[in-house]
């Protein structure tokens, strides 16, 4: 009996999603004779039963496309905004799954999607996931698709910023995506030849960064490139943020309504202030070095456009392996990349973990060895 497979993409989009949909779909249809249906806009589309046929033609010509033909959203099954409320729509999703007589649901996403898929698995669905995100921070896999493309884009940006920084003898601070992990900033910073790389894993001392730039100037380098993750914090900002969060937590524990209100307002103020932390860094560097500093925020540019060859290959490998696992009735797993292999990893081993850059990682040592300042002493 042929199997029925549903597929959705959730979380932020990532180059390689279409290659993965194509990989799962072609192998499922062609190699295993399954039937495949797409759900639009992540878990929201599954809740609303908004589908897209994936019966062959739709899978052609999408390998090189950025984004996702299915659309995506950050909605969670158990915390779905519905009107002005947030509701647990798990049962509605389970109904859709059953109505389509699905044998498996493939969820393509990052850390949040792994967690949401695991939640559905615990409600009886046969789920199987693939790891995507440009941040490369999904646990238990060597790589996520999307990262290589974003790495290329960020590296090219840093390359291009060199000539303008050089011509004007300026500092250019370039903000790279990565809220919690510094893979992109570190990788692109090394590959693009940044002089300073700041990342969430290493809180930086602004005086150390300024001194590195001043030293470089004394040696004749009239410009500097600072690659910074959006999630990098200075030591002082981190302390400020932690203190505000701790205050709110304490107030909640004490069930002190008045203090809770004050602490929440304080935290909101700190968060607002920290939204501009890269611009603030740039201004501080101007003051401390006397050089002019400009800021470039790469933002969603890093997620857009055609996937690199490496991401197409990875997404296709993971996608076809996924179809093979469904054929063998292996569920409740994420298909991970391990060296030249693909391996199923139980979702409970993935969920709740994040792959940040280990402080003893080879890339960190490499950066230090070539004299890159990482903001610490
Ligand atoms: O996909 C992960 C990521 O790229 C993060 O690096 C970034 O902070 C986030 O998505 C922003 O995404 P959005 O603007 O879509 O919420």
Instruction: Give which of 283, 301, 303 is closest to 293, Cα–Cα.
Output: 283
The CB of 291 under 6 Å from ligand 1? The reply is no
Q: Is residue 367 part of a domain?
A: no
Q: CA distances (Å), 120 to each of 52, 104, 190, in order?
A: 21, 11, 40
CA angle 263, 269, 275 (to 5 degrees): 135
| Ligand 1 nearest atom to the CA of residue 110, by list position | 1
Residues contacting 274, CB < 8 A, separation 6+: 233, 237, 240, 241
So which residues are the catalytic ones?
A: 135
Same domain for 298 and 154?
yes
> Cα 211 from chain centroid?
32
pTM above 0.85, yes or no: yes
Looking up tokens 């915390």 gives 79
Q: Tokens at residue 327, please?
A: 């054929």
Same domain for 214 and 187?
yes
Looking up tokens 């295993």 gives 32
Same domain for 67 and 82?
yes
Residue located nearest, by CA, to atom 9 of ligand 1: 12
Same domain for 323 and 295?
no
Same domain for 131 and 199?
no
The CB of 178 under 6 Å from ligand 1? The reply is yes
What 3-state class would DSSP assign to 6?
strand
Task: Give 177 Cα–ligand 1 centroid separation in angstroms.
Answer: 7
Helix (H) or strand (E) segment spanning residue 79 = none
> Cα 376 from chain centroid?
25
| Ligand 1 nearest atom to the CA of residue 177, by list position | 6
Instruction: Give which of 84, 87, 67 is closest to 75, Cα–Cα.
Output: 87
> 314 pLDDT exceeds 90?
yes
Task: Give 345 Cα–ligand 1 centroid separation in angstroms.
Answer: 25
The CB of 23 under 6 Å from ligand 1? The reply is no
> 1 pLDDT exceeds 90?
no
Q: Tokens at residue 289, please?
A: 């070095």
What is the rounded CA–CA span in Å between residue 36 and residue 355? 31
Instruction: Determine the residue of 9, 12, 354 to mutate for testing ligand 1's pocket, defined as the one with the most ligand atoms within 8 A of the Cβ atom.
Output: 12
Residue located nearest, by CA, to atom 1 of ligand 1: 12
Same domain for 174 and 101?
no
| Ligand 1 nearest atom to the CA of residue 150, by list position | 4
Helix (H) or strand (E) segment spanning residue 35 = strand 35-39
Same domain for 99 and 171?
no
| pLDDT at res. 333 | 98
**Mean pLDDT computed over 3-10:** 98
Last residue of a domain, one of 268, 303, 338: 303
Same domain for 289 and 315?
no
The CB of 59 under 6 Å from ligand 1? The reply is no
The CB of 75 under 6 Å from ligand 1? The reply is no
Instruction: Give which of 169, 174, 172, 168 is closest to 153, Cα–Cα.
Output: 174
What pLDDT, in 10s, does the model give residues 152-180? 999 999 999 999 999 999 999 999 999 99
Q: Is residue 374 part of a domain?
A: no
What is the rounded CA–CA span in Å between residue 185 and residue 163? 19
The CB of 135 under 6 Å from ligand 1? The reply is yes
Q: Is residue 370 part of a domain?
A: no
Q: Give the torsion through C-alpha atoms of 297, 300, 302, 304, to 10 deg.
A: -150
Same domain for 198 and 290?
yes
| pLDDT at res. 317 | 98
| DSSP for residue 132 | B
The CB of 10 under 6 Å from ligand 1? The reply is no
| pLDDT at res. 191 | 98
Instruction: Give which of 8, 27, 28, 26 is closest to 76, Cα–Cα.
Output: 8
What is the rounded CA–CA span in Å between residue 241 and residue 150? 29
Task: Give 298 Cα–ligand 1 centroid separation in angstroms.
Answer: 12
Per-residue confidence band for 56, with pLDDT thresholds at 50, 70 and 90: confident
Q: Is residue 371 part of a domain?
A: no
The CB of 354 under 6 Å from ligand 1? The reply is no
The total of structural domains in the chain comes to 2
- Identify the sign of the CA torsion 205, 228, 283, 240: negative
Helix (H) or strand (E) segment spanning residue 295 = strand 293-297
Task: Give 12 Cα–ligand 1 centroid separation in angstroms.
Answer: 6
* Residue 90, number of CB atoms within 10 A of its CB: 21
Domain hosting residue 85, numbered range: 4-146+307-349
Per-residue confidence band for 260, with pLDDT thresholds at 50, 70 and 90: very high
Q: CA distances (Å), 178 to each of 13, 84, 232, in order?
A: 14, 30, 9
CATH number of the domain encompassing residue 167: 3.40.50.460
CATH number of the domain encompassing residue 80: 3.40.50.450
The CB of 187 under 6 Å from ligand 1? The reply is no
| Ligand 1 nearest atom to the CA of residue 14, by list position | 1
Q: Is residue 359 part of a domain?
A: no
What pLDDT, in 10s, does the model give residues 328-376? 999 999 999 999 999 999 999 999 999 999 999 999 999 999 999 999 9
Instruction: Give which of 230, 232, 241 is closest to 267, Cα–Cα.
Output: 241
Q: Is residue 175 part of a domain?
A: yes
What pLDDT, in 10s, does the model give residues 116-140? 999 999 999 999 999 999 999 999 9
What is the rounded CA–CA span in Å between residue 48 and residue 25? 22
Q: Is residue 357 part of a domain?
A: no
| Ligand 1 nearest atom to the CA of residue 12, by list position | 1
**Mean pLDDT computed over 94-99:** 98
Q: Is residue 375 part of a domain?
A: no
**Mean pLDDT computed over 197-202:** 98
Task: Give 292 Cα–ligand 1 centroid separation in angstroms.
Answer: 29
Same domain for 63 and 123?
yes
Helix (H) or strand (E) segment spanning residue 129 = strand 127-131
* Residue 287, number of CB atoms within 10 A of its CB: 10
Distance separating the N- and C-terminal Cα atoms of the chain:
63
Residue located nearest, by CA, to atom 10 of ligand 1: 12
The CB of 113 under 6 Å from ligand 1? The reply is no
Same domain for 68 and 179?
no
% of the chain at pLDDT higher than 90: 99
């Amino acid at each position: 009996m042929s199997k029925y497979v549903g597929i959705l993409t959730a979380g932020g989009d990532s180059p390689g999603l279409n290659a993965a949909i194509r990989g799962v779909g072609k192998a499922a249809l062609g190699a295993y004779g399954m039937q495949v249906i797409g759900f639009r806009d992540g878990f929201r589309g599954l809740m609303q039963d908004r589908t897209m046929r994936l019966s062959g033609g739709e899978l052609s010509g999408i390998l090189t496309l950025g984004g996702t033909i299915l659309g995506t959203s950050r909605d969670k099954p158990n915390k779905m905004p519905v009107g002005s409320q947030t509701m647990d729509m798990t049962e509605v999703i389970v109904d859709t799954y059953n109505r389509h007589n699905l044998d498996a649901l493939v969820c393509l996403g990052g850390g949040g999607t792994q967690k949401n898929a695991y939640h559905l698995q615990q409600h009886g669905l046969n789920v199987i996931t693939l790891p995507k995100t440009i941040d490369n921070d999904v646990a238990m896999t060597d790589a996520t698709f999307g990262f290589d493309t974003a790495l290329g884009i960020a590296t090219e940006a840093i390359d291009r910023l060199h000539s303008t920084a050089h011509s004007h003898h300026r500092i250019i601070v370039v903000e790279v995506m990565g809220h919690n992990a510094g893979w992109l900033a570190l990788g692109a910073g090394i590959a693009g030849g940044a002089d300073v790389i700041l990342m969430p894993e290493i809180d930086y001392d602004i005086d150390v960064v300024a001194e590195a730039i001043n030293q470089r100037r004394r040696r004749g380098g009239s410009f500097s490139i600072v690659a910074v993750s959006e999630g990098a914090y200075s030591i002082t900002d981190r302390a400020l943020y932690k203190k505000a969060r701790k205050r709110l937590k304490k107030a909640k524990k004490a069930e002190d309504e008045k203090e809770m209100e004050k602490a929440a307002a304080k935290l909101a103020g700190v968060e607002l202030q920290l939204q501009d932390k890269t611009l603030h860094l740039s201004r501080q560097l101007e003051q401390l070095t006397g050089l002019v500093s400009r800021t470039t925020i790469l933002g969603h540019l890093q997620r857009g456009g055609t996937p690199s060859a490496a991401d197409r290959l990875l997404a296709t490998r993971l996608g076809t392996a996924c179809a093979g696992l469904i054929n063998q009735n292996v569920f409740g797993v994420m298909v991970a990349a391990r060296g030249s292999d693909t391996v199923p990893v139980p979702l409970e081993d993935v969920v709740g973990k994040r792959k940040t850059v280990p402080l003893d990682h080879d890339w960190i040592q490499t950066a230090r060895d070539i004299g890159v300042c990482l903001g610490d002493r």
